[in-house]
Structure 1
Amino acid sequence: MPLAELAEQPFWLALGHYEAARLGGWRSHVDDAQFFLAEQGAHDPQAELRATLAALYAPLSDADQHAQCRYPARTRWLREQLQLDDLPAVTCSEYEAWLADVNPHSTVLVFPAAYLNSPSSMFGHTLLRIDPPDFAQSTAMLSYALNFGAYIEGSDNSILYAWKGLMGGYPGLFALLPYREKLSEYSRLENRDLWEYRLNLSAEETQRMVEHVWELKQVRFDYYFFDENCSYRLLELLEIARPGLRLTEQFPLTAIPADTVKAVKQAGLVEQIDYRPSRERELLTRSAGLDATEQDWALRLADDPARLEDAQFRALPLPRQAQVQDTAYRLLRYQATGEARDSQVAQRSLRLLQSINRNPPEPLQVERPGLPEEGHQSRTWQLALGSQEGRSYAEYGLRMAYHDLNDNAQGFPLGAQIEILGMQVRQYEGNHWQLQRLDLANIRSLTPRNRLLQPISWQVGGGLERVPGEDGQRELVGHLSGGAGGSWQLSERLLGFAMGTARVEHNAQFGNLLEPAVGFNTGILWRNGLGNLSLEGRGDYFANGEVRRSLALQQQWELGADLALRLAARREFSQWTPAQNEVQLQLRWYHY
C-alpha cells in the first residue's frame, strides 16, 4: 500500500489523534512536540509516518529509547501493514516489564457519578479499569486505572479553576495507577457512587489500547472541561482498541461524561454493569430503618463508643443494637473522610468494630439508583408561548448543559442543578425581539439534612437577565449571585429548602456601577405523577433601597425521556413598578 494512502488509514490517524482541520489538512489533539518524530508531525500524518518508518530502522544505541520501544502500537501496526520482517532486533526491557506488571486482559469503563461540591467533578468523570486474566470482582484492587485528567500545580481557587478549565489553561495527562487508589478517591474521599461497565473488548484489543497508552506517557494535551476532557480522550482510546468505532465524531462541541457512557453503550460495547455505592449512600441506607431515638444513639456511640455499655442502649433488642452500632461505625468513618489519621478516631472505630463483630447486623442491601446514562440528553432546545402583563410573546431558548431542578430526575442526583450557557430570546407582538436572559452558569446543590448528616445547600449563578425597571420597562442587567442554607426531606417525594442570598448587579438605572444586595430564596420541590413541581419565593434588598421580590411556580409534564412540557407562572414585586404577572407554556426538547 502506498505510504500516502497508508497515512490516511483511520487507525494511523487514531494513533496520532488527528482530526480534519476546519480549513483543510489535519491537526492533532496532542499538544506536545515530544510525541512527534517529524517536525510537522502535528499537522502532517504522512510526514509522521515516514519519520516513524525511518526511526524503526535506526541503529541501536539506548534500546529503551529506540522508536520500537517508544512506539509499540505504531511498530506493531506498521509491521503488520508493510510486512516489516527486517527490523532491527530490539529488547525493550522497560516497556516489557511495565506491560507484564499491568498484565492487560479486559476493560471496564468506570463512571464516578456527578459530585457538585467539586468543580472538576460536577458532570461526573470516566476512567478505564484494566483487569488481568482470571479477574474476579474481589480482586479489583489488583487492577489498574487508566485516567486522563487536568494536571494542576498549586491550589487555584474555584473561579480561576473554572476559567482555566474552560480556556484550556491546564495540561491534560494520561496516568495508569492502581485501581484501589482511584476507588478510594471517588467512593470514599468524594462520596460518589461508582458505575462499572464491563466492555466486550478482547484481550488483544485491550492490549492494543494499553500499548498506545505507553506511547502517551508524559505526553501533554490541552485540557478543556466541555469537549477535550477525560471522557473524550477515553473514547479515542476505545477507537484504538477496536478500529472502526465512531465514537468521538458524535461529540463535536461537548463531551459530557454521561453522554459518552451512553455512546459506548449504544455502540454495543457494554456486556455487564456493576454498581458500587458511596460511603454516604451506605450510611443513609443503614440509618433509614432507625427511628429518631436510635439515630440519636448512633450519634452518641460515634462520639463515645464507651456508651455501648449504657443500660439504656443495652435495653434495645439485639437486632436493633446491631443496626445502631453499625450506623455509628459508618458515621464515624464518614466523618473521618479526607482527614489525616487520628489515633482517637481509630480507637473509637476499633471499639465499634469489635462490638459489631460480636453482634453483626443483617447484610446491607443498597437499592441501585437509576442508570446515569438513561437520563435525558444534555442540550435543551426550548419553544414557549407566554403573556406578560397582557403582552403576548414567543420565546426561543437553548441550554448547552445540562439539568435543572424541574427536569426529568431519572439518572441525576437529587436536588442537583447544573446549567451552563443558556440563552432565551423573546419575540413580542409587533415583531419586537428582545434578549430575555443569558446565563453563563446556574448551579444549585440541595442536599437534604437529617439527624446524622448536616450538609450545606448552596447556589451560584451569573449572567444577564431582565428585571423590572422604570416606567414598566424591563431592564437587561448583569449579575453575579449566590446563596447558602439548608434543605430538608419533608416526605419521600417532597424537598424543602431555605437560603440566605447575596447579589451584585450592574443596572444602568442604578447610580453605582455595581450595586450589592442581600436576600432570601426558599421553596419546595415536589416529585409528582406528572413530573417535578417547584414553588419558590425570592427577595433581594439592595443597598440603594430597591426591593425586588418574586413568587414562581413551575410544573413539568414528562412526555418522554427527552421531551417535556413546562407550565410556569410568576409574579414579581418591585418599587419601580406595580406587581407584574407572567404565565408561560414551554416545550422542551432534550437533544445532544
Structure 2
Amino acid sequence: MSELQATLDALRLPADAKPDDEHAQCRFPARTLWLKKKLAGQLNFPSVSCPRWDAWAGSRQITSISLVLASGFLGNPASYYGHTLLKFNTDPSRRLTALQDLSISYGVIEDGSDSPFVYIVKGILGGYDGGFSDIEYYFHRNQYGEIELRDLWEYEINLSPDEVQFVSAHAWEVLNRRYQYFFFRKNCAFRMAEIVQIVEGVNITPPNRPWTIPQATLQQAGRERRADGSPLLKSVRYAPSRQSRFYASFNALGAQERQVFFDLVAHEQALTQAPYRALPPEGQRAVVDATIDYYQFITDAAQRSSGKLHPVYTAALAERFRLPPAPKTAEAVAPQAPHLGRAPGWFQAGWMDSDRQGQAGFVRIRAAYYDPLDSDQGHVPYSGLTMGDLRLRFKQQGIRLDQLDLVAINSANPGVTGLAGDRGQVWQIKVGAEPVKPGCEDCLAAKLQGDIGMGRRLMSGLFLAVRAGGAVQGKRADQGLGYVKAGTTLIWRPNPDWGTEINMESRWPAGSEQARYNVLKAEWRYALGRSYDIRIQHEHSSGEHGGARTLLGIGRYW
C-alpha cells in the first residue's frame, strides 16, 4: 500500500512541480492511465505537459500493434532461435510508408569484444545486461531482411484502441531500462510478451517451460482467444528476405530463360544478343527481374553505399525501364507462418539393435530446436540447431548414457544457383559426448568436432554438401585424441513430411596407430501430423572397434 500511495502522490503533484518530461505522469503513462481508469470519480489528476511522450506516441497516432518475428540466423548466437520485436502501426496519413512506424526491440548490451563461445556462456548464465531500444521499423527490415537475409513475419494483435494506448504507454515506461539477460528464458521473446501481457486476459508466454523461444511465443499467441472469442492474432504478413526474393525470381525461370540469365550474369553484352532478343516480352522481363534480384542479393551494404554498382546490374535496370511496364514476374510466395509450425521440444522412445551389444530400448529428449529433417518455417533449411539433446539406452543391466549433444549447430546455405555470392557454404560445430566410433557402445567420450565445406541445392528438396574438418575427443579404445575427417552429406526432403539424410565420411585418427576408417550414418523420417514423427536410423563404422546398429523410434514434439 505504501508503494501505491507514493505512486498516487507523485502522479497528483501539481503540473509545475517538476520540469517538463520529469513529472511522474510523463515517466509512467501506463500507470497513469490504469489508475485514472480504476479511480475515476474518486481522485483528480492534474493535466501535465509531456512533450517527449506526446512526440513518441501522440503525434504518431498509433492505431495497432504487431509482433514481428525474424527467422533464425546461425551467424549470430543471439539470433539462433530468431528474434521478436514490437511494431507500433501508425495512422497511414501520418507517414509515407509502414517502414517509418516505430518499433521496440530488446537485446544484450555489450561491446562486441567477446568471442561467440564466451557470448553464449555469459548469455546462458546471465552475464550480460539487456535493454530496450526504439527505432523506426525500416532499420530492422534492412538489418534482418537485407543484410542477414532473414525472412520476417508481422502479426497484428487484436487489441482495442484503449488497449493499444495502454501497451504503447507501458512500452514507453520500459525504454532504456536495464534487466539481467538470460539467453534461454528472459530474452527478447520473454520481454516482448511481458509488454503485451499488460493487457488483462492476454498470456502469450508458453507455460511450464524453463526457456522462451520466439516461435513458441507466437504459437502460444495463435492459441489465445479474447474474451469475445475472437483470436488474439488478427492478421499475419510475410516480408521475404533479399535471398528469398532472388530465389523466387530464379525458380520462376524456364529452361531457356535460365540459360539466358546465366549468360547475362557472365556477359553484359547478352542483353543485345540474339538469345535474349528472341525471348517474348514476358520472358525478357523474367530474365531481367531475376538479374536485378541477383545483384541486389550479392551486393553488400558497403558496395551500395559507395555507389559502385556492377555494370550488369545497371544495364538490367536500364533494360527494365525500356520494357513495357508490367508487375514483377515472380514474387516470393508466403510459406506456412511460423505460429502454425510444430513445438520446439522433442521426445523419442524406441528400440535399437547392435551387432556388438544386441538389442536395447532407448529414450531421447531434445530440449530444442530442429535438425535438417524436421526444420520448419522460421528455421534455416537443410540446417540444424539443437541444444540439450540426450539419448539413454536401457537393458536389464541398467541405464547408460548413449549420446549427449550440449550444442550442435549445422549451418547450410542452399547455394541454389552456384553463382558468385551463392556458392552455398556449410559449417558445423558440435560439443558433447558420444562413442569415439559409431557402433562402439562402450567407447563413450567427450568430444568437440567441427567442419566446413560447400553445399548446393541440386533440385527442389535435394541438397548435397562436401566438407572437411576434425574432432578433439577423450582417448578411448585406442582411437587417439581426435581425428581429421572429410565427408559428404545428402539431404532429400521431397515434402515437409518425408526426409532422408545420409552422411558418409572418412576419418584419420590422430595420436593413434589406428588406420583410416569410414563412417556411414543414414536417417529416415516421416511426420505423423504436426506433433509426432517416426524415424529409422542406421550407423556403421569400419575397422577395429567398429560396428553397426539400427534404431527405430517414435517421437513427439512438445
Q: Could you say if the C-alpha distance between residues 183 and 251 of structure 1 is closer, same or farther in structure 2, counting changes exceeding 3 Å?
A: farther
Shift in Å, 1:115: 2.4
Counterpart for residue 309 of structure 1: 272
Counterpart for residue 97 of structure 1: 55
Counterpart for residue 191 of structure 2: 233
8 A contact 2:185–2:212 mirrored in 1: yes
In the alignment, residue 396 of structure 1 is paired with which amino acid?
A: V
Quick one: distance in 1 between partners of 2:283 and 2:358? Answer: 63
8 A contact 2:489–2:503 mirrored in 1: yes
Counterpart for residue 227 of structure 2: none
In the alignment, residue 191 of structure 1 is paired with which amino acid?
A: L
8 A contact 1:402–1:419 mirrored in 2: yes
- For the residue of structure 1 that corresponds to 2:37, the secondary structure is helix
- Once the two structures are overlaid, the 10-residue window that deviates more, 61-70 or 415-424, is 61-70
**1:257 matches 2:214:** yes
8 A contact 2:453–2:467 mirrored in 1: yes
Shift in Å, 1:417: 0.8
**1:56 matches 2:23:** no
8 A contact 2:88–2:103 mirrored in 1: yes
Counterpart for residue 8 of structure 1: none
> Among residues 325, 337, 345, which one is paired with 2:288 in the alignment?
325
> How far does the alpha carbon of each residue in 1:329-363 deviate from its partner, in whole angstroms, 9 at most, with x for none?
21111111333423331766444222101115653
Shift in Å, 1:246: 2.5
Quick one: distance in 2 between partners of 1:410 and 1:246? Answer: 23
Shift in Å, 1:299: 5.1
Shift in Å, 1:217: 2.0
Counterpart for residue 584 of structure 1: 551
Q: Could you say if the C-alpha distance between residues 411 and 135 of structure 1 is closer, same or farther in structure 2, counting changes exceeding 3 Å?
A: farther
8 A contact 1:408–1:558 mirrored in 2: no
> Among residues 364, 374, 378, which one is paired with 1:397 in the alignment?
364
8 A contact 2:371–2:384 mirrored in 1: yes
Shift in Å, 1:509: 5.2
- Once the two structures are overlaid, the 10-residue window that deviates more, 579-588 or 98-107, is 98-107
> Among residues 161, 164, 168, which one is paired with 2:126 in the alignment?
168
After TM superposition, the score normalised by the length of structure 1 is: 0.84
8 A contact 2:460–2:494 mirrored in 1: no
> How far does the alpha carbon of each residue in 1:175-222 deviate from its partner, in whole angstroms, 9 at most, with x for none?
221111111111111111121212211221111111112211210012
8 A contact 1:57–1:87 mirrored in 2: yes
8 A contact 2:402–2:441 mirrored in 1: no
> Among residues 446, 457, 467, which one is paired with 1:478 in the alignment?
446
Counterpart for residue 526 of structure 2: 557
- For the residue of structure 2 that corresponds to 1:210, the secondary structure is helix
Quick one: distance in 2 between partners of 1:370 and 1:572? Answer: 39
**1:488 matches 2:452:** no
Alignment of 1:143-182 (within 5 A): 143-182=101-140
Aligned residues: 539
8 A contact 1:302–1:332 mirrored in 2: no
In the alignment, residue 422 of structure 1 is paired with which amino acid?
A: D
In the alignment, residue 264 of structure 1 is paired with which amino acid?
A: A
Say what the alpha-carbon RMSD is for the aligned residues: 2.8
Gapped regions of structure 2 (runs ≥ 5): 225-230
**1:427 matches 2:384:** no
Quick one: distance in 1 between partners of 2:144 and 2:535? Answer: 35
Quick one: distance in 2 between partners of 1:292 and 1:219? Answer: 56
Alignment of 1:351-390 (within 5 A): 351-359=315-323, 363=328, 364-389=330-355, 390=357
Quick one: distance in 1 between partners of 2:130 and 2:21? Answer: 25
In the alignment, residue 359 of structure 2 is paired with which amino acid?
A: S
In the alignment, residue 452 of structure 2 is paired with which amino acid?
A: A
Shift in Å, 1:228: 0.9
Shift in Å, 1:156: 3.1
8 A contact 1:467–1:474 mirrored in 2: no
Counterpart for residue 281 of structure 1: 244
Gapped regions of structure 1 (runs ≥ 5): 4-46
> How far does the alpha carbon of each residue in 1:290-324 deviate from its partner, in whole angstroms, 9 at most, with x for none?
36775465456457645533455444444333222
Quick one: distance in 2 between partners of 1:416 and 1:304? Answer: 34
Quick one: distance in 1 between partners of 2:488 and 2:234? Answer: 45
**1:129 matches 2:96:** no
- For the residue of structure 2 that corresponds to 1:126, the secondary structure is strand
8 A contact 2:206–2:216 mirrored in 1: no
In the alignment, residue 80 of structure 1 is paired with which amino acid?
A: K
